[in-house]
Amino acid sequence: MGLIDNINKLFDHRIRLGIMSILMVNEEVDFNRLKELLDVTDGNLASHTKTLEKAEYIKIEKSFIGKKPNTRYIVTPSGKMAFKKHIEALEQLIKKQ
Amino acid sequence: MESKKYLEDISQIKDLMNRSSRFISLSGLSGILAGTYAIVGALIAHFYLIPQQGGYVILHSWNFKMIVGVLIAVAILSLVTAYLLTSKKAKKNNEKVWDETTKRLLINFLIPLVTGGIYILIKLNSQHYGLTASLMLIFYGLALVNAAKYTIGKVRYLGYLQIVLGLICAAMPGYGFWFWVLGFGLLHIIYGSLIYFKEEKA
């Protein structure tokens, strides 16, 4: 088994990696804030958050602020674990070279 | 081979973590100016408003109201300066001043500060002026330490210094005025200069 096996394929993408990085250090973040930080389109962001939700790495909470729908994202404990593992794998790979 | 991509990944993670959770540091110049306002305010109070030798300030007197007015003016001027200079700096770095992080920074800064302010006003109303300077320094220091979690700079240390100064001040009654000048004036100027020269170099 090579070190490369510890790299999480789901995080091997700029936007998904970005979403996880932001959620790791914030209790919850809403859709617009994510969009602004990552500088991506609505559709692009929505499809990547869906992927992460399917893997149960993040939780999506929908509510209304007045009449406006508000979607917030929260990292799950298993998402935190997976992300930490991924970072460790990155570190190992860099150290080896 | 792939290692360059991994390094890029790591630096992207770091950048997003910082940008999403930490407010850009305040400009050094705003620290220097805040300290200067405090010293000018203190000089005005010292020469024109605080009665010399033997006299004391009576609550609700003209002098007392003027001193409170000077304090409020110093606070407002400092805040406005900090806001203007920081937004200028943010614009230069293409960052937004008013976002989630700033809001959190402000709330965490204001909780200890407003608590202290109200406490001091209650004490003043029952004629306890003795510890005013000490309480101002302590609560301001706590506010800085509490807000430091949301900044990139080293505001935490300025907070520690203000708290220590406030405690020493509490142990030395009668020198409140001078400790106030030291904390709000001199420390701000020294701290601001350190940041300012670091910014210039960067």
For residue range B4-48, what is the model confidence (pLDDT) as tens digits?
788 888 888 988 887 787 766 677 888 999 999 999 999 998 888
- C-beta of residue B133 within 8 angstroms of C-beta of residue B185: no
Instruction: Please report the pLDDT score of residue B64 as a whole number.
Output: 81
Nearest-CA distance A94 → chain B (Å): 6
Residue A6 has pLDDT above 90, yes or no: no
Q: Is residue B3 part of a domain?
A: no
Can you say whether the dihedral through the CA atoms of B120, B27, B189, B41 is positive or negative?
negative
Residue B56 has pLDDT above 90, yes or no: no
Q: Is residue B13 part of a domain?
A: no
Q: Is residue B16 part of a domain?
A: no
Q: Is residue B17 part of a domain?
A: no
Q: Write out the two tokens for B192.
A: 């601001």
pLDDT over 90 percentage in chain B? 41
Q: Is residue B157 part of a domain?
A: yes
Residue B137 has pLDDT above 90, yes or no: yes
Residue A84 has pLDDT above 80, yes or no: yes
Comparing CA positions, the residue from B149, B146, A42 lying closest to residue A30 is: A42
Contact B12 A97 (CB under 8 A): no
Q: Is residue B77 part of a domain?
A: yes
The mean pLDDT value for B129-137 works out to: 90
Can you say whether the dihedral through the CA atoms of A43, A49, A51, A53 is positive or negative?
negative
Instruction: Please report the pLDDT score of residue B23 as a whole number.
Output: 67
pLDDT over 70 percentage in chain A? 94
Instruction: Please report the pLDDT score of residue A67 as a whole number.
Output: 84
Nearest-CA distance A17 → chain B (Å): 7
Count chain A–chain B contacts defined by CB atoms under 8 A. 46
Contact A29 B20 (CB under 8 A): yes
Which residues of chain A are within 8 Å of residue B102 when distances are taken between CB atoms? none
Report the domain count for chain B. Answer: 1
B6, B16, B20 ranked by CB distance to A90: nearest = B6
The mean pLDDT value for B115-138 works out to: 89
Q: Is residue B15 part of a domain?
A: no
Which residues of chain A are within 8 Å of residue B3 when distances are taken between CB atoms? 93-94, 97
pTM across the whole model: 0.70
Residue B100 has pLDDT above 80, yes or no: no
DSSP string over B133-179: HHHHHHHHHHHHHHHGGGBSSSHHHHHHHHHHHHHHHHHSTT-HHHH
Interchain CB contact of A74 with B (< 8 Å):
no
Residue B154's domain spans which residues? 26-201
Q: Write out the two tokens for B133.
A: 């300077």
Which CATH fold topology does A8-92 show? Answer: Arc Repressor Mutant, subunit A (1.10.10)
Comparing CA positions, the residue from B188, B155, B154, B182 lying closest to residue B33 is: B188
Q: Which sequence spans correspond to the domains of chain A?
A: 8-92
The mean pLDDT value for B63-85 works out to: 89
Q: Is residue B1 part of a domain?
A: no
Instruction: Please report the pLDDT score of residue B53 as a whole number.
Output: 59
